[in-house]
Structure 1
Amino acid sequence: MVSLKSLFLAIASVASVYAAPAEGVELVARADTGPVGYFSYWWTDGTANATYTSGAGGGYTITWSNNTGQFIGGKGWNPGTSTRVINYSGLYKPDGNSYLSVYGWTRNPLIEYYIVESYGPYNPSSAGTNKGSVNCNGASYDILQATRVNQPSIEGTKTFLQFWSVRNPKKTPGGSISGTITLSCHFNAWRSLGMLTGSSHAYQIVATGGSGPSGTSTITIA
């Protein structure tokens, strides 16, 4: 089992790639099933000054201030799927490093994936290798791949791949935000580039994450 201390040290050692939260005792204590039909998820590295509030239906709010740690939270489904069409809307106002994305995992093989709609000054996929691009829902997304070596994952400390689709240009943070994400468009594009996801899905959420000093994100999914 990955301890909270070792998890934080692993995160700190790889600042160029957003870390994978581990599915250990600490995570289970912070997760709940949320309203019927939605999976609610919340994780911090133990130093983040951030608060997660589960709202009605597919809604949630995360606020952070005087923050020096990392966090990620949101709502979605458990298990996920490669065919879901997700609609989201709300308010996304980060100050500093943050991102708003679909975030999930597959198993067999173990893959962590992000479909990033918006982010702060730092592109969270910056350490990845560019594999190409795809047009989905009327927007262009850069496709990248990164390798995480002996890092926390939903199966403990392992080496695994990260898949990224990053909207380019990103949706401008700092106010109202909304959109539609057709997951099959991204999964098919990854597959066409030899980026094969796993045979089974773990959780899949519309997430707000980051490490910036302050901000607020109030998002509703459907």
Structure 2
Amino acid sequence: MFSLSSIFVTAAAVASVFAMPATNGTEGEFFGLVQRAGTPSSTGTSNGFYYSWWTDGAAQATYTNGAGGQYSLSWSGNNGNLVGGKGWNPGTSTNVISYSGTYQPNGNSYLSVYGWTRSPLIEYYVVESYGSYNPSSAAAKKGSVTCDGASYDILQTTRVNQPSIDGTQTFQQFWSVRNPKKNPGGSISGTFYDCIYPCLQTHLYIYPLLALMRLGT
């Protein structure tokens, strides 16, 4: 299963990730996409899963929902910000996400699980791999956990008057970053269990997604 995927790509690279939050122990599968066109931002349900797709419209990007928990996201160029993925809304601490796919970063990108909680309001990431920049570099390390046989650094930072699922708010942002990161450049797979949930101290999980994200330069 894939939790949240975030991929930031610069230059003229095109990135594609295929993800499927699993049910009944079913592993993720690939869902191909080659089209290069703009998909308007939207949220909703698809084949029993919640999906969220947002773009600022500056990138040539296509998001497509597939069967079950599958989706595909591709883009080109070095402009624009976007994020898309499938998961649950609301989620729970028992949601398990397995994943498989191909990750070939070019420049600043990362592959991660993404979500929010309420009571308290927290934004969280579980990062499996990244390109040239560790996205948690500005956060303070709080410790580490072992998850699925790998070590993850836990980091925290405060976001002041920033956009959130409840409008502009001040909130905590948690990162759980695999150390060392998985080597990018080809096929990648794994399973997330409790890589960050123990740090959140809440059970109100708002759409934990297996998502792809990109930040323009």
Task: State the shift of 1:211 in Å.
Answer: 2.3
8 Å Cα contact 1:145/1:163 also seen in 2: yes
8 Å Cα contact 1:118/1:173 also seen in 2: yes
Map of 2:196 onto structure 1: 186
Map of 2:57 onto structure 1: 46
The counterpart of 2:44, out of the listed 20, 29, 32, is: 32
8 Å Cα contact 1:33/1:39 also seen in 2: yes
TM-score (norm 1): 0.75
8 Å Cα contact 1:144/1:163 also seen in 2: yes
Map of 2:132 onto structure 1: 121
Task: State the shift of 1:29 in Å.
Answer: 5.1
Poorly superposed stretches of 4+, deviation over 4 Å: none
C-alpha RMSD over aligned residues: 1.8
Greater percentage in helix: 1
Percent of aligned pairs with the same amino acid: 65
8 Å Cα contact 1:110/1:198 also seen in 2: no
Q: How many pairs were matched up?
A: 178
Map of 2:184 onto structure 1: 173
Map of 2:171 onto structure 1: 160
The counterpart of 1:210, out of the listed 201, 204, 214, is: 214
Cα 1:51/1:96, change in 2 over 3 Å: farther
Structure 1 residues without counterparts, runs of 5 or longer: 1-27, 191-195, 214-222
Map of 1:85 onto structure 2: 96
What SS is found at the alignment partner of 2:197?
Answer: helix
Residues 34-79 of structure 1, C-alpha deviation per residue, up to 9 Å, x if partnerless? 112x111111233233221112112111111113111111111111
Q: How does 1:74-153 map to 2 (within 5 A)?
A: 74-153=85-164
What SS is found at the alignment partner of 1:67?
Answer: coil
AA aligned opposite 1:56: A
